[in-house]
Chain A
């Protein structure tokens, strides 16, 4: 057995041992799709991403996806990938957030999930987000976005992605977003579930807060107790999509 493993290991060439002739690649926990929109994509004479192109599971959620059609109209699918090597090939050939036009967004979502509240995977979820003033963060935002993407594709936001949670789904994370606005940047982590305030939800709340803490400290590099709110800036805060629809009337969780 050990000899077999050895033989197998010796036949394996990663991109580190032979960048031009490697024969294995590092699969990601999930395949991902990058989406993009900006004012320049609106009404532009180019092929739209047909709604029929979204992989859909048959069933009652289909009307939800149809309802998202208006929202999705100007959001362009860039590419899908399922290995570490392909992620970097993409990263090294597109522009970072600091060079995007104003009012643009990158959406990096698990393949098969559209970046809309209406998707079955998002409708019961919410998001961690932070808003950062542009002036002070022009030099940080690219690294923050890269680290956000790496935690997403490396599947390290959720410490127990394989735990079942009743819905049978695995990882809490469905996607990550960076948005550029005239005066600030926003980074968001979308989750599949959100605490609703019921008493029996301590475990989910803890898990959601774990994602927020990892985002604040490991990804963004802030100290645990650091207070971040200020002019054009917010704390790292969580809001369910249902509360977001009520225009901020909901309860926020802050880490």
Chain B
């Protein structure tokens, strides 16, 4: 699947995410002290850009990557709001 790829990443985004390059070889990346690399056995014969990541590695990003995606639609417009406040905020006709 996916002959045609429409990626949100291609859109103009403020901040470093917009211009950051894709890591080509995960095994050459040096992380600061205290940051763990992905388990090497997950990427032994990895093709370029096709990397697998273990949970412990991924969780390290949680407190750092907080920037709201530029392409994220207004959540109230798609009904994606916390339970206690999903009143129709604007112009909703609904039923």
Contact = CB atoms under 8 A, between A and B. Distances in A.
Interface stretch (A87-95, A205-213, A239-247): A87-95
Contact of B80 (A21, A78, A111): A78
B66 A88 contact: yes
B62 A88 contact: yes
A60 to B, nearest CB: 14
A89 B69 contact: yes
Contacts of B82: 95, 99
A43 interface: yes
Interface residues on B, range: 35 or more
B8 A24 contact: no
Name the interface size band of chain A.
Answer: 35 or more
A87 B17 CA distance: 12
A197 interface: no
Contacts of A67: none
Given A8-B28, A12-B30, A26-B53, A80 B16 contact: no
Contacts of B30: 9, 12
Contact of B69 (A41, A44, A86, A156): A86
Contacts of B60: 16
Given A31-B7, A45-B93, A92-B62, A23 B68 contact: no
Interface in A151-179: 151, 153-156, 161-162
B55 A44 contact: no
B58 A84 contact: yes
Contact of B79 (A16, A19, A23, A40): A40
Interface in B1-34: 1-9, 15-17, 19-23, 26, 28-32
Contacts of A73: none
A21 B55 CA distance: 25
Contacts of B67: 89
A29 interface: yes
B80 A36 contact: yes
Interface of A: 5, 8-9, 12, 14-17, 19-29, 31, 36-38, 40-41, 43-46, 55, 57-58, 76, 78-95, 99-101, 110-113, 120-121, 147, 150-151, 153-156, 161-162, 218
26 contacts: A9-B29, A14-B29, A15-B16, A22-B16, A23-B20, A25-B21, A27-B51, A29-B51, A36-B80, A37-B79, A44-B94, A46-B77, A55-B1, A55-B3, A58-B3, A80-B7, A81-B9, A81-B69, A84-B58, A86-B9, A86-B17, A89-B69, A112-B4, A121-B1, A147-B55, A162-B50
Across the A-B interface, give the 7 residue pairs with the lowest CB-CB distance, nearest first.
Answer: A112-B2, A40-B79, A88-B65, A154-B53, A41-B79, A25-B20, A112-B1
Given A26-B26, A95-B81, A112-B2, 6 more contacts: A31-B2, A40-B81, A84-B53, A88-B61, A89-B68, A153-B58
